[in-house]
Structure 1
Amino acid sequence: MAPTAIKDIFPTHDKLPTEDTTLYYYLELKDGGIIQTYPGTAFEKRRKHVPHDVTVKDMRSVRDQFNINNAGFELVDHKSAVKDFTDAKEVEQVYYAEYIDFIKKRVGGADRLTHVSEGHAAQGLDDKIPVKVMNPARFVHVDQSYRGAEQILFLNLPEEEAERRMKKRWAIINVWAPIIKPVKRDPVAFADFRSIDEYDFRTVVANLPPPDAAEYGKAAARYEVTNLAHNPNQQWYYASDMTPEEAWVFMIFDSKNDGRAKCAVHTFFPYQNQDDYGEPRTSVEVRCFVFWDDKETE
């Protein structure tokens, strides 16, 4: 759990503008929940969660009080030089390079960054058939659990290098940004890490298909993700009216154990007045490994 000293100074920001919505939490196993899932499949799209009415606070006016070390997330200004986000080569050459440089400046002292990845029509499909249509993940989660972060490290690096990297501080940091147009639907909400009780974390195993596979099978790579049980103490935040000149930087995992935020629990949510059908939101998300050769984990 996060140290008491950090929770004692946690600001509640009771006077901020708010958005009332419904967030979807982990359905306990005893109630019909799951411990295995298949990301990107019809099964995942149809998966059941527990709805809870939640007030999400607009942190825009106090954005300087939130960062990846104390809350697990921060809102930053950044305008990409990418002209065409449908051009995979331009995204890889320009966008990835921009954010590698950007994250290095945010975290300070990192000697290496490695890009990893990244961007509901499920009715009538077999559970394990991949669904190609992308949609916002409207359930409360962290992309990897603490153990799952280590599993992702070994899935992406040679075993010897992964073992060496784990002896020093390392992290997984994501950047999510709207592109082309401002966010008018399905913004992302974050739970301040200082308001999280880690006893509410729930582990689910994600099974990934082999590259270019038409369906999931026994050869799938596996890693743990974190879901969350509801707790009324959780404090949720978003930023209103995000534009393509802004981005969220948020922690998926930090090996540093000094009381800082180790992850950012998040979800996308619909605005109260949002139409069920409308022009889709456009966004991009990148994930990076960050390594410090000169910093210990404690």
Structure 2
Amino acid sequence: MSTTTTTATEELPSQSVVLGDRETLKADFNYWGTTTDPQESELLAIFTGKSTGLRAVQCPVTDIRPIGLSSFNLGTHGFQVLKHSSALLPPQADSIPDFHDEKHINATYWPELVSMLKSQLGVRSAVAVGSTVRDIQENDPDEFDHKLPRRFLGKSLQPFFIVHGDYTPAGARAHFRAVVPTYFEELNNMEGTTERERKEFFQFRDEVIAAEEKAMKEEGVTDQWAWSGKNYAGPRWGYLSVWRALETVHRDPLGVMDPRSLFRPGVEKPYIGLQRDYRDRPGFEKPFKSENLLAVAPQRGDEHKWYYISQQTPEEVYALKLFDSDAQKEGSTVAPFGAHSAFSLPDQESEKVRRSVEVRVMVIW
């Protein structure tokens, strides 16, 4: 069952940010073209850009660098730019390590991110779910088709050119509930965490699920897929994507949509749910169901407001919201998530292909 939570534009907290025309360009974004939910059988066609349900829309994209990276925050905009220099990357390191080396990255890079989120966002607990590395090395037509949103090439992925969120609210809860007691062992994350951190996470998780069960009972439902998310009174929790460029970005930057333009008045269904079956994911029940979301195309491109960071460096790290339990509360003024997508810059074809890594993290405030 797909779930959609709508929040009126005026209900999100306001923040004065002056956007100038000179910082704005036009770019094509691939949206889901209807309000009809796709079937899971369409998943491959969607991810390879072959689905007839996709529609390209030209939208304005504003460079936030001249405005000030600190002007944007998770509560209002669904993303925040954190300043952080990794010990694994230049200038602290001599070269860029292999981010596909799961054991090494999980034990070294993940703890860096946990520390960063605790110190800069004030979360009590942060637990990494997994890394996605986009590091196609050469602009070889046999290796890289820029028109495809996603293509598996060994371990590497290219930038993803579909406007999406990683979870619907129900999908995020399903992921969170599917965590198994051997989670840290299965993700090779014993070395990167302390016994206290592991114990604390499961204690918080138990509190969250108990509060969800209580709220569902108050609503008269037993299946979390049928639950509205209302009446929840437990710890605030969510999912973040911690997105970092491995080198300065000259091509295919990440664009993030202002959630106030997605959840604007008069839009009955701003996104659709794409159900997923996970059969053998380390650290989770086998199998379990989750749900991604695809943003529905606007009638006009200027109805959606997009942001990006020009020449983004590895020290300028996105904390991109994927889910926030506070956004589900009735009357909430918190941004629910930040829909996002790669997009093409003008005359970028001769530039070096973007290399980046994103780590999905469960957080509890």
TM category (shorter chain) comes to 0.7 to 0.9
Report the Cα distance in structure 2 between the residues aligned to 1:185 and 1:248, rounded to whole angstroms: 17
Alignment-derived partner of residue 227 in structure 1: 294
Q: What is the letter of the counterpart of residue 197 of structure 1?
A: F
Q: What is the letter of the counterpart of residue 48 of structure 2?
A: K
2:12 match: secondary structure = helix
**Given that residues 243 and 357 in structure 2 are in contact (C-alpha distance below 8 angstroms), is that contact kept between their aligned partners in structure 1?**
yes
2:312 match: secondary structure = coil
Alignment-derived partner of residue 103 in structure 2: 89
Q: What is the letter of the counterpart of residue 114 of structure 1?
A: V
In the TM superposition, what is the alpha-carbon distance from 1:10 to its structure 2 partner? Answer: 6.5
Aligned equivalent of 2:238, options 171, 188, 208: 171
- Are 1:53 and 2:58 counterparts? yes
Larger Rg: 2
* Closer, same or farther: CA 94–122 of 1 in aligned 2, 3 Å: closer
* Closer, same or farther: CA 121–223 of 1 in aligned 2, 3 Å: farther
**Given that residues 12 and 235 in structure 1 are in contact (C-alpha distance below 8 angstroms), is that contact kept between their aligned partners in structure 2?**
no
Q: How does 1:236-255 map to 2 (within 5 A)?
A: 236-255=306-325
Alpha carbon RMSD of aligned pairs, Å?
3.0
Alignment: residue pair count: 275
Alignment-derived partner of residue 358 in structure 2: 285
1:115 match: secondary structure = strand
**Given that residues 18 and 56 in structure 1 are in contact (C-alpha distance below 8 angstroms), is that contact kept between their aligned partners in structure 2?**
yes
Q: How does 1:21-100 map to 2 (within 5 A)?
A: 21-28=27-34, 34-36=38-40, 41=44, 44-48=47-51, 49-62=54-67, 63-82=69-88, 83=93, 84-86=97-99, 87-100=101-114
Alignment-derived partner of residue 162 in structure 2: 139
Report the Cα distance in structure 1 between the residues aligned to 2:211 and 2:86, rounded to whole angstroms: 30
- Are 1:114 and 2:122 counterparts? no
Alignment-derived partner of residue 216 in structure 1: none
Alignment-derived partner of residue 208 in structure 1: 278
**Given that residues 72 and 250 in structure 1 are in contact (C-alpha distance below 8 angstroms), is that contact kept between their aligned partners in structure 2?**
yes
* Closer, same or farther: CA 79–261 of 1 in aligned 2, 3 Å: same
Q: What is the letter of the counterpart of residue 313 of structure 2?
A: T
Report the Cα distance in structure 2 between the residues aligned to 1:220 and 1:38, rounded to whole angstroms: 20
Please identify which structure carries the higher strand content. Answer: 1
* Closer, same or farther: CA 266–91 of 1 in aligned 2, 3 Å: same
**Given that residues 35 and 203 in structure 1 are in contact (C-alpha distance below 8 angstroms), is that contact kept between their aligned partners in structure 2?**
no
TM-score between the two structures when normalised by the length of structure 1:
0.81
Report the Cα distance in structure 2 between the residues aligned to 1:262 and 1:29, rounded to whole angstroms: 19
Report the Cα distance in structure 2 between the residues aligned to 1:10 and 1:47, rounded to whole angstroms: 40
Report the Cα distance in structure 2 between the residues aligned to 1:130 and 1:220, rounded to whole angstroms: 22
* Closer, same or farther: CA 130–11 of 1 in aligned 2, 3 Å: closer
* Closer, same or farther: CA 5–148 of 1 in aligned 2, 3 Å: closer
**Given that residues 45 and 122 in structure 1 are in contact (C-alpha distance below 8 angstroms), is that contact kept between their aligned partners in structure 2?**
no
Identity rate of aligned residues, in percent? 23
Report the Cα distance in structure 2 between the residues aligned to 1:122 and 1:47, rounded to whole angstroms: 16
Gaps of 5+ in 2: 1-6, 134-141, 146-150, 182-201, 213-233
Alignment-derived partner of residue 13 in structure 1: 19
- Are 1:260 and 2:306 counterparts? no
Q: What is the letter of the counterpart of residue 239 of structure 2?
A: I
Alignment-derived partner of residue 250 in structure 2: 184
Please identify which structure carries the higher helix content. Answer: 2
> Which range moves more in the overlay, 162-171 or 253-262?
162-171
**Given that residues 34 and 297 in structure 2 are in contact (C-alpha distance below 8 angstroms), is that contact kept between their aligned partners in structure 1?**
no
1:185 match: secondary structure = coil
**Given that residues 250 and 311 in structure 2 are in contact (C-alpha distance below 8 angstroms), is that contact kept between their aligned partners in structure 1?**
yes
**Given that residues 28 and 34 in structure 1 are in contact (C-alpha distance below 8 angstroms), is that contact kept between their aligned partners in structure 2?**
no
Report the Cα distance in structure 2 between the residues aligned to 1:45 and 1:270, rounded to whole angstroms: 17
Alignment-derived partner of residue 296 in structure 1: none
Aligned equivalent of 1:274, options 348, 354, 365: 348
**Given that residues 13 and 333 in structure 2 are in contact (C-alpha distance below 8 angstroms), is that contact kept between their aligned partners in structure 1?**
no
Q: What is the letter of the counterpart of residue 291 of structure 2?
A: E
* Closer, same or farther: CA 70–209 of 1 in aligned 2, 3 Å: same
**Given that residues 35 and 271 in structure 2 are in contact (C-alpha distance below 8 angstroms), is that contact kept between their aligned partners in structure 1?**
no
**Given that residues 18 and 58 in structure 1 are in contact (C-alpha distance below 8 angstroms), is that contact kept between their aligned partners in structure 2?**
yes
* Closer, same or farther: CA 137–208 of 1 in aligned 2, 3 Å: farther
1:244 match: secondary structure = coil
